[in-house]
Structure 1
Amino acid sequence: MSTLTRLWRLGTGRFGLVVMAVILVTALVSLVWTPFDPKSVDVTARWALPGWPHLLGTDGTGRDILSLLMTGARTTVLVAVGAGIVSTVIGVLLAAFGALTPRWTREAVAVLIDILIAFPVLLIAMMISAVWGGSLWVVVWSVGIGFGVSIARVTRPELRRVRGSDYVLAGRAAGLTPLQNLRVHLLPNVAPVFIVQLSWSMAVAVLAEAGLSFLGFGASVTEPSWGLLLAELQKYLQVHPLSVVWPGLAITATVLALNLLGDALREATDPTLRGRSHGPKAIAHTTPGVVA
């Protein structure tokens, strides 16, 4: 049974896959089509309620909220994927150096990780944004570096635990280089823990972008963003509360989907957890002849 099939059989996996697929498709479709021009201002349609032709209503300048959400999905996908790639590279490199190198290097990496992890990710992003200006790439790199350190801190002990396993020693005896051993034997064994941390970093990246944009440290006004839209609409929360619901729901659903998808991926890829979703009968079936 493939990992995707096992993932789809889990309720949390289905929810995460469907939500993320909808967001990805929406982001791609917005590149070529939106119901209205998201930059178009129509003062005659200010604060229109949800209906036809504005399915989610309009804001105070008459812009279509659905079109704004569709274009904002591009920013969400870019930030989540970008932060995931940066945190993956940094996390794997730091964990490998902290687990597979000589003792003095391992101790130096451990000290570096302890120092870097003491700084909150959002604080680092705000300080960098104050110096270099608000940008999506500032958010991507800030969150990627911050959670790359977190990934390294979690996966480094796991790598050290499995480095002395028989199959790792056998691979070393067979002539595999440390890099090959890392790719073939070590990383697959820490993948479940790594996947959860990676999905968490992507979810926090989405939250960080929305929060920083809300505070004016994230995306510029020329870049579509759910955080910027939320910041603009919350000023009129008491008068037009429904308009704030849509970007809030989009951010919440994305973060929830990423977290649930990470948990489901761990259960689908970790052999010690697979049996839990199939019950005692499936466990008994996969271990014939075993006497308790």
Structure 2
Amino acid sequence: MLVFNNKAELQKHLAPLKRQKKTIGFVPTMGALHKGHLSLINRSLSENDVTVMSIFVNPTQFNNLEDLEKYPRTLESDVDKIQTLSNEVIVYAPSVNDIYGKNTESDHFSFDGLEDQMEGQHRPGHFDGVGTIVKKLFQITTADKAYFGEKDFQQLQIVKKLVEKEQLPTQIIGCPIFREESGLAMSSRNERLSTVSREKAAIIYQTLKEAKQQFSKSSAPEVIAFVKTTFEKHPEFTLEYFEIADEATLLPIETKDPQKDYRGFIAIFIDNIRLIDNISMK
């Protein structure tokens, strides 16, 4: 399996494949791979001639330095996991310098207000960092299709907006959330949870499912109050937000509109580790 640490070498390898009209599928990750990531690889392998996966912990999308420092970096085991699927996957695992040179800073983007909701309110500058790294990676890999999990649904919508506004020739494919047996959304951050906290975190998805059920017969404020009350009964959790928002605009619901698709979004802390999840309210 090919592993590149240098973008020039990766581009040199990909250039003749593009000339041969080979399609390139791209899976961007920050490593610490789990079954959700592997499902994205499988999807790309089934739909493209070539699959590239990046493994890069992007510093410009972290507004919390401690979170950046503690983010798991497991390149060797990540490569082993990829090889269980295919030896044909090309891995790009660059250094910060290879991506950014001497200027490790974000560009500034407007995503038509998508960046101002939820994660954008609680993580200043986060989506500028996301936009910066995604644009760079799309340009480096010349990807025809790129695959993102719906666990980061706001990020998925923002990447679609990035492609539209920057006129990038990459099709964005959203893929379903993969969950542990308990229902907890798979995340690299789960590896930092204690065994007990990981078990307790199953309540996040349980509560989202109950909120979805209540949304069919109750108002949005009533459902939001239910979620807040639920976690107040579990002091080991700190609820940062729960919102019901329009999937297209990410604006919080005002009154139910049967013509719109809504989604419930949650961010919550346990063990000082921040977890996010979401659920379609259809």
- The answer, yes or no, to whether TM exceeds 0.5 is no
- Larger Rg, first or second structure (1 or 2): 1
Q: Which is bigger in relative contact order (C-alpha 8 A, separation at least 6)?
A: 1
TM-score, with structure 2 as normaliser: 0.22
TM-score, with structure 1 as normaliser: 0.22
Give the structure with the larger helix fraction.
Answer: 1
